[in-house]
Amino acid sequence: MKQSELFTKTLRQPPKDEETINAQLLVRAGFVNKLMAGVYSYLPLGLLVLKKISQIVKEEMDAIGGQEILMPSLHPAEPWKKTGAWDKVDVLFKLKSRTGKDYALGQSEEEVVTPLVMKNVQTYKDLPVSVYQIGWKYRDELRSKSGLLRGREFFMKDMYSFHEDQKDFERYYEIVKKAYLKILERVGLVAKVTEASGGGFSEKISYEFMVLTDAGEDKILYCDVCEFCVNEQIAKNKAGDKCPKCGKGGLNAATASEVGNVFDLGQKYGKDFGLTFKDKDNNKRHPVMGCYGLGISRLMGVLVEKFHDDKGIIWPKSVSPFDFHLINIAKDPTKADKIYESLQSEELAVLYDQRQVSAGEKFADSDLIGIPVRILVSDKTLMEDSVEIKERKGSKTQLIKIKNLAETLKS
Ligand code: ATP
Ligand code: MG
């Protein structure tokens, strides 16, 4: 894509109404635009990143047997009343129609997915089933000051699994946890798997996937020897205590952001809706369910919090809007245009800055936008039939002959 075709403009200064690095940089670089607190539009560059993260999540959910669906965001109030969530879930957005009827906006979708899936499950032979969707969620959050980390409308993957018994659920629970760690690894993050309370309805513990960052809103305690990690909110322990698991290490406190969460829902939703299947002995049973959330837009914000410097964003390659940023500062653009065309024909993802602006402005924008590899064409490099390659995260530059460029970039 030619940079001149982007309708978005970069800003020299951070916007005054943003407090966090992720929102400041994403707005400055033209990835997102704030409509109001906690609600953003995704602009061409930002949407590319959101789609890349979504694609990685999709691949890993498909790999563990998840079937992708798309459920509505506008829900009738009745199922929410049936499960008790209408009164108990404080973040639920409620709407009243001009007809007087009540509706809810989806903040999670157990109320919709349970009757939907169970309509198709008659016997144990129809189980297990796992379905997921990727889309908007709505929550009436009191404070939305953390940019993409806490939206009132945000992008989430939510998966729901249905099992004949607890044992089969436990088996799948472990598989999903591994898939989550794989997703995080693919986007360049390391997470701590943290024990937490099971949320509003459950006595059971859940697991949160926590990425350490000062921009996060969670406090966790983790052992410096074993993998023990717990959310401070529910912990019986405090920082400095001996690890209750291994007894060797000490507990450290850290600030983190919860990018994902997996829950054991037990039989709650099957019971609430009175939905059953016939087990092997021909007895009626409620399904055992799990739900698995992953904050895709929050992940995008966390990536910026983790990967930036004072000049801008530094995207991991797997989620960058483009793989290469081609910049021309030579007087005559003919050679750079040719290079762009040849990289396009090799199907490399290139953003090409051929704008009539100063070299300084081009470098500043390139650092701000944060594409992992910069390719510079200047009168100086052209004297050697070369371009200069530089990684966004380093300072080392390398001259590459134009005739070898596509091959080099591919390797
Ligand atoms: P939090 O404690 O941060 O409010 P939660 O426990 O309410 O999160 P879940 O209901 O488990 O979150 O939602 C699944 C995932 O969706 C979370 O792990 C998080 O990554 C993301 N998420 C939740 N709320 C928001 C929000 N307001 N904005 C952006 N992402 C969110
Ligand atoms: Mg919440």
Domains of the chain: 3-189+199-208+258-309 (3.30.930.10), 322-410 (3.40.50.800)
Average the pLDDT over each of 116-125, 158-167, 192-201, 355-364 and give the range with the smallest value.
Answer: 192-201
Q: Is the pLDDT of residue 200 over 70?
A: no
0.75 cut: is pTM over it?
A: yes
Extract the tokens encoding 173.
């629970």
The pLDDT score that the predictor gives to residue 203 is 72
Q: How confident is the model at residue 379 (pLDDT cuts 50, 70, 90)?
A: very high
Cα separation, 234 vs 48, in Å, equals 38
Model pLDDT for residues 308-336, shown as the tens digit of each residue: 999 999 999 999 999 999 999 999 999 99
Q: Which one-letter DSSP state was computed for residue 20?
A: S
The pLDDT score that the predictor gives to residue 204 is 83
Q: Kindly give the distance from the C-alpha atom of residue 237 to the centroid of ligand 1, in angstroms, as a whole number.
A: 24
Model pLDDT for residues 386-403, shown as the tens digit of each residue: 999 999 999 999 999 999
Burial class of residue 30 (count of CB atoms within 10 Å of its CB; 0-12, 13-18, 19+): buried
Which amino acid is residue 116, in one-letter code?
L
DSSP output for 278-337: E-TTS-EEPPEEEEEEEEHHHHHHHHHHHSEETTEE---GGG-S-SEEEEE-SSSTHHHH
Q: Kindly give the distance from the C-alpha atom of residue 263 to the centroid of ligand 1, in angstroms, as a whole number.
A: 13
Helix (H, G, I), strand (E, B) or coil at 381: helix
Q: Kindly give the distance from the C-alpha atom of residue 153 to the centroid of ligand 1, in angstroms, as a whole number.
A: 11
- If one residue of 220, 298, 299, 305 were mutated to test the ligand 1 pocket, choosing by the most ligand atoms within 8 A of its CB, it would be 298
Model pLDDT for residues 71-99, shown as the tens digit of each residue: 999 999 999 999 999 999 999 999 999 99
- 287, 290, 406, 269: which is closest to 339 by C-alpha? 406
Q: Give whole-number Cα distances, 48 to 32, 43, 171, 195, 203, in Å.
A: 11, 8, 35, 33, 40
Average the pLDDT over each of 166-180, 194-208, 294-308, 379-393 and give the range with the smallest value.
Answer: 194-208
Q: How confident is the model at residue 219 (pLDDT cuts 50, 70, 90)?
A: very high
The pLDDT score that the predictor gives to residue 205 is 85
Q: Is the pLDDT of residue 45 over 80?
A: yes
Q: Is the pLDDT of residue 239 over 70?
A: yes
Q: What share of the chain in percent tops pLDDT 70?
A: 99
Cα separation, 398 vs 82, in Å, equals 64
Q: Is the pLDDT of residue 381 over 90?
A: yes
- Contact, 101 vs 81, CB < 8 A? no
The pLDDT score that the predictor gives to residue 24 is 98
Q: How confident is the model at residue 201 (pLDDT cuts 50, 70, 90)?
A: low
Cα separation, 203 vs 201, in Å, equals 7
- Contact, 368 vs 392, CB < 8 A? no
Q: Is the pLDDT of residue 31 over 90?
A: yes
The pLDDT score that the predictor gives to residue 198 is 72
Task: Give residues with Cβ within 8 angstroms of 388, minimum separation 6.
Answer: 375, 376, 378, 381, 397, 398, 399, 400
The pLDDT score that the predictor gives to residue 202 is 64
Burial class of residue 113 (count of CB atoms within 10 Å of its CB; 0-12, 13-18, 19+): buried
Quickly tell me which residue has 């859940």 as its tokens.
206
Q: How many CB atoms lie within 10 A of CB 249?
A: 15
- If one residue of 136, 148, 156 were mutated to test the ligand 1 pocket, choosing by the most ligand atoms within 8 A of its CB, it would be 156
Cα separation, 12 vs 119, in Å, equals 55
* Span between the terminal Cα atoms of the chain, in Å: 22
The pLDDT score that the predictor gives to residue 229 is 96
